[in-house]
């Protein structure tokens, strides 16, 4: 059986390999759509319908990691809600103040210490903060308690790897591949089924936690129709990681058996798959569903940028499966390969960003 812990926190702390210093790719995706959230809240979000006497506004970030991206996303929402509240108060001759409470949710082994230690001092004066450990594939907050929920670049992380990809007798055996690269149809189907199940659970839980009329804002990466993961630069990085692991096995640093029992809990859906699972949940109306290119997809990323980005995201389950000391060995080999054979970005297919605003019925 796989040794995955079913929980995959980003690299904690604040050293050179930590997520807090190596998550600009994710932040660029968020920056590309932040005005959409502001515009929707200002133009269409009705605070008075939620509750005319509302005094505490509650926001939750599901899959917050350790910052700083979560602080940026939360501040963007708060600024928009403040402007909307001021406008509605003036139009309706209301004299009321609005306090903000923010719930930061992630897996229980997330580095919450670093998250709250790096919370900007100015933010502490703007809202009351709460840490909420637990998988967002289940309910983590009280029913009808949240006014706006948000999640960014998170739901491609599955609750677990489909068991059949480790079964050599199954058509969905992933052989020596270390992720769902869309090369084996049965593997792709197994991952797709897991993604569909997980997303259904995610939306069901949020539907219970959000107040009627509340918003769920979702940003994520997807594959355009006809594009396979192995054709994208992130796919090439992971396939090259697999090559490095095979080299390590030949040298006795790890084993081929361990590689065959290793597969990343990642699935990047097609847009139609995202849309389909959202439409199946009847608790929400789709207020906004748009697609945009990632701001960095047009750039030729440096080797150091790619290595540091993945080094901050993947150490937990690599170390869990292959043992202590293997992370440095793997990424040193990966860096050497890309220095000798750089990725030709012009030939790479592009991932896209979906941006969705849902309203709780």
* pLDDT band for position 324 (cuts 50, 70, 90): confident
**13-23: per-residue pLDDT in tens?**
777 778 888 78
Tell me which range, 10-14, 119-123, 136-140, is most confidently predicted by mean pLDDT. 136-140
Question: pLDDT at residue 9 above 80?
Answer: no
pLDDT number for residue 329: 94
Residue percentage of the chain with pLDDT more than 70: 97
- Nearest residue to 268 via CA among 357, 135, 159, 179: 179
Residue that is written with structure tokens 């790096």 in the block: 118
Q: Report yes or no: 137 and 198 within 8 Å, Cβ to Cβ.
A: yes
- Nearest residue to 222 via CA among 130, 310, 153: 153
pLDDT number for residue 5: 41
pLDDT number for residue 134: 94
Question: pLDDT at residue 33 above 50?
Answer: yes
pLDDT number for residue 173: 95
169 DSSP 8-state letter: T
pLDDT number for residue 107: 93
**218-277: per-residue pLDDT in tens?**
999 999 999 999 999 999 999 999 999 999 999 999 999 999 999 999 999 999 999 999
pLDDT number for residue 45: 93
* Dist CA 103 CA 360 (whole Å): 18
Give the CB-side neighbour count of residue 227, counting CA atoms within 13 A: 22
| Better-predicted residue by pLDDT, 315 or 179 | 179
pLDDT number for residue 96: 72
- Sorted by where each starts, the structural domains of the chain and their CATH numbers stand as 19-360 (3.40.50.150)
pLDDT number for residue 17: 76
Q: Is the peptide bond before 136 cis (omega within 30 degrees of 0)?
A: no
* Dist CA 329 CA 337 (whole Å): 13
Q: Report yes or no: 302 and 354 within 8 Å, Cβ to Cβ.
A: no
What is the arithmetic mean of pLDDT over 161-177?
Answer: 94
pLDDT number for residue 257: 93
Question: pLDDT at residue 60 above 50?
Answer: yes
% helix, strand, coil for the chain, step of 5:
45, 20, 35
* Structure tokens belonging to residue 205: 């839980």
pLDDT number for residue 6: 60
CB neighbour list of residue 209: distance below 8 Å, 6 or more residues apart: 60, 139, 140, 141, 142, 143, 144, 145, 146, 149
* pLDDT band for position 3 (cuts 50, 70, 90): very low
Question: pLDDT at residue 95 above 70?
Answer: no
- Which of 5-9, 16-20, 125-129, 143-147 has the weakest average pLDDT? 5-9
What is the arithmetic mean of pLDDT over 286-293?
Answer: 92
pLDDT number for residue 2: 39
- Which of 67-76, 107-116, 123-132, 247-256 has the weakest average pLDDT? 123-132
**187-222: per-residue pLDDT in tens?**
999 999 999 999 999 999 999 999 999 999 999 999
pLDDT number for residue 1: 33
* Dist CA 293 CA 287 (whole Å): 20
pLDDT number for residue 267: 97
């Amino acid at each position: 059986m796989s040794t995955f812990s079913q929980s995959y926190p980003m690299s904690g702390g604040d050293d050179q390999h930590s997520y807090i210093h190596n998550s600009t790719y994710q932040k660029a995706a968020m920056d590309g759509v932040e005005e959409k959230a502001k515009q929707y809240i200002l133009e269409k979000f009705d605070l008075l319908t939620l509750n005319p006497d509302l005094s505490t506004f509650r926001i939750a970030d599901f899959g917050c990691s350790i910052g700083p991206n979560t602080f940026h996303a939360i501040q963007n929402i708060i600024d928009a809600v403040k402007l909307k509240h001021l406008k509605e108060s003036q139009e309706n001759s209301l004299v009321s103040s609005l306090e903000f409470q923010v719930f930061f949710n992630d897996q229980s082994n997330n580095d919450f210490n670093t998250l709250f230690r790096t919370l900007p001092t100015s933010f502490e004066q703007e809202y009351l903060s709460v840490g909420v450990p637990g998988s967002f594939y289940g309910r983590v907050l009280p029913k009808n308690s949240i006014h706006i929920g948000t999640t960014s670049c998170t739901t491609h992380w599955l609750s677990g790897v489909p068991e059949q990809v480790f079964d050599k007798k199954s058509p969905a055996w992933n052989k020596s591949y270390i992720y769902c690269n869309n090369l084996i149809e049965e593997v792709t189907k197994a991952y797709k089924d897991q993604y569909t199940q997980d997303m259904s659970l995610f939306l069901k839980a949020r539907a219970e936690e959000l107040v009627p009329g509340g918003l769920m804002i979702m940003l994520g990466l997807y594959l355009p129709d006809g594009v396979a993961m192995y054709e994208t630069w992130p796919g090439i990085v992971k396939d090259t990681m697999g090559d490095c692991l095979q080299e390590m096995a030949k040298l006795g640093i790890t084993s081929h058996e361990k590689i065959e029992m290793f597969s990343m809990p990642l699935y990047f859906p097609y847009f139609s798959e995202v849309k389909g699972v959202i439409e199946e949940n009847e608790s929400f109306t789709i207020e906004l569903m748009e697609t945009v290119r990632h701001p960095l997809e047009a750039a030729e990323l440096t080797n150091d940028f790619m290595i540091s980005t993945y080094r901050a995201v993947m150490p937990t389950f690599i170390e869990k499966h292959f043992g202590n000391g293997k992370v440095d060995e793997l990424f040193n080999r990966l860096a050497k390969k890309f220095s000798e054979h750089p990725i030709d970005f012009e030939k790479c297919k592009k991932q896209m960003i979906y941006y969705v605003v849902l309203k709780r019925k």
